[in-house]
Structure 1
Amino acid sequence: MSSDFIAVNARAVLEQHGLDSFEALWALKLDAVDAPNTGRGGWSSVYRLELAGASGQTQAFYLKRQLNHLTRNLGHPLGEPTFAREFRAIQQFAGLGIPALEAAFFGQRRVAEGQQAILLTRALDSYRPLDEWFADWHSVDFRARRDIILASAALVRALHNTGRIHNCLYPKHIFARVDGDGAGARLIDLEKTRRAWLGQRDFVRDLETLQRRSQGPSRSERLRFLLACLGQRRLNDQSRKIIAAITRRQRGKQESKA
């Protein structure tokens, strides 16, 4: 049996509620936040978990459990839980200093029914996904919009500077918040992250996906975001080539649907 991971800052509250083991978290009765994902032959479900700490302050988590919800690759031809891949990415991102969701617990088991896995992450309750920000973008203060754009761009740039891509970079996967000190952003849903094997082509893929699905920001705000992702203040030959590549990819997507 493999050892389980428990984050130092989560151990006390989990122990307090008798939830510091795989078995206890697997048996916990909770209502799922949405319908189970059954796309890989098994199932995967997400639950919200709120626990009162010793001081009485509530700590919020998302508990994710799955059975036979597997991903297959050269390293795991028979499949491994998708949460195992996501947990590795969370740990890698933490080591690289890329802001993302935080793991509180991870464990996996082989049972008669197949492969089980649990991933417990801290809720990002002070953040909102970009698609929610964009839904009422017109009512967001100008400075807040600017700060959200720049914080999100800095996050994507930090990711790409490590030679990695998110590979599923939708607005709902970037969580942003605004406070008195400005804005901050974090990435979630890291299961598909990988190295940029194709270099700039992969970075363009990330940027095009995000641009195509971002409804709300103006054309000038979109340009500000792209320039900030590239670490540039104004258009130059490099940024024009990137924008042209994004436009070609967008057109290709549109033509394939026609």
Structure 2
Amino acid sequence: MSGLKQAQTLSDSDYFEQLWQLDTEWFEPPNHRRGGWSGVVKYVLETTDGAINVFIKRQENHRTKTWRHPLKGIHTFQKEYNNILRLTANHIPTLEPVYFSCDASRAILVTKELIGYQSLENISPLNLSNASRKQLLKAIAHVLVNMHQAHFQHNSLYPKHIFAKPVANGWDIKIIDLEKMKRTLLVRQSMLRDLGTLERHANQDWSMKDRVFFLQQYFNEQPLSKKTRQLLHKIAKPKKAKRH
């Protein structure tokens, strides 16, 4: 534990500083941009309930503008923390927060490690049975339907942001990296954005049959209607490169 005391024995400001000063190897190289930085470490945190594996995300001068804070914005980790709470309140599976705090320029977000889970990016359908593959696609589709029906748009739904773990009756799914997530008025808008991103970046080992099955589960249609097939053509269409 490198001498880190339990949160319950310290004031929030003292605990914040201890987390901030942790000297341990980065899990991911720090991201530097616009005069600020953010980074992630993997850690074993002692609590009154015992040791837990966590990821500690720290950032300084990384802010994002919101409609509530259009000028100064808020810490991106604060936005992510708020979105974790929103998804949880709507029964949409995501990370479990352990701690969050911030000051004027810094923010710390601690979440439990997803033990036993893999990102969809690292799951090859070639290593799954036909039944397991269908169970996985069905589980993901149902989570995304619920997320979109609740008017949440992930806004960065790459395969690496969908985590899955095999369980007795199929697969358990978690949606992560919620820094860019937002509420939308139109379900269609959320669906087009997120499914389009997922389709364009999905592992090429997922066959066309797999992709059609996933969409059948998402739209609850079998076979897919003409209207849905037209919509899918729009989803799969490559995005135009931005002009510089």
TM-score range, shorter chain: 0.7 to 0.9
| Contact residue 92 and residue 143 of structure 2 kept, 8 A | yes
TM-score, length-scaled by structure 1: 0.83
* Offset at residue 246 of structure 1 (A): 1.2
Identity %: 33
The count of corresponding residues between Structure 1 and Structure 2 is 235
Corresponding residue for 2:138? 150
| Contact residue 68 and residue 81 of structure 1 kept, 8 A | yes
Unaligned runs of 5+ in 1: 1-12
| Contact residue 227 and residue 239 of structure 1 kept, 8 A | no
Provide the secondary structure at the position in 1 that maps to 2:20. Answer: helix
Corresponding residue for 1:63? 56
* Offset at residue 181 of structure 1 (A): 2.2
Corresponding residue for 1:43? 37
Letter in 2 for 1:177: K
Q: Distance in 2 between matches of 1:144 and 1:84?
A: 36
Deviation by residue 1:127-184 (Cα, 9 ceiling, x = unmatched):
10000003xx212222221111111111111111101110000000000111222111
Deviation by residue 1:32-91 (Cα, 9 ceiling, x = unmatched):
1121111242000100011366786x5210000111011123422113210010010000
**Aligned: 1:221 with 2:217:** no
**Selected match of 2:116 from 116, 119, 126:** 126
Provide the secondary structure at the position in 2 that maps to 1:256. Answer: coil
* Offset at residue 244 of structure 1 (A): 2.3
| Contact residue 95 and residue 112 of structure 2 kept, 8 A | yes
Q: What RMSD over aligned residues (CA atoms) do the two structures have, in Å?
A: 2.4
Corresponding residue for 1:5? none
Q: Distance in 2 between matches of 1:235 and 1:167?
A: 25
TM-score, length-scaled by structure 2: 0.87
Corresponding residue for 1:3? none
Matches within 5 A, 1:61-100: 61-76=54-69, 77-100=71-94
**Selected match of 1:181 from 165, 169, 178:** 169
Provide the secondary structure at the position in 2 that maps to 1:101. Answer: coil
* Offset at residue 201 of structure 1 (A): 3.4
| Contact residue 196 and residue 203 of structure 1 kept, 8 A | no
| Contact residue 19 and residue 25 of structure 1 kept, 8 A | no
Closer/same/farther in 2, CA of residues 23 and 256 from structure 1, 3 Å limit: closer
Letter in 2 for 1:152: I
Q: Distance in 2 between matches of 1:104 and 1:24?
A: 15
Tell me which stretches of 4 or more aligned residues in structure 1 moved more than 3 Å. Answer: 13-20, 51-56
Q: Distance in 1 between matches of 2:153 and 2:134?
A: 24
Unaligned runs of 5+ in 2: none
Q: Distance in 1 between matches of 2:48 and 2:102?
A: 28
Letter in 2 for 1:214: A
**Selected match of 2:222 from 233, 243, 247:** 233
Provide the secondary structure at the position in 2 that maps to 1:119. Answer: strand
Letter in 2 for 1:210: L
Corresponding residue for 1:27? 21
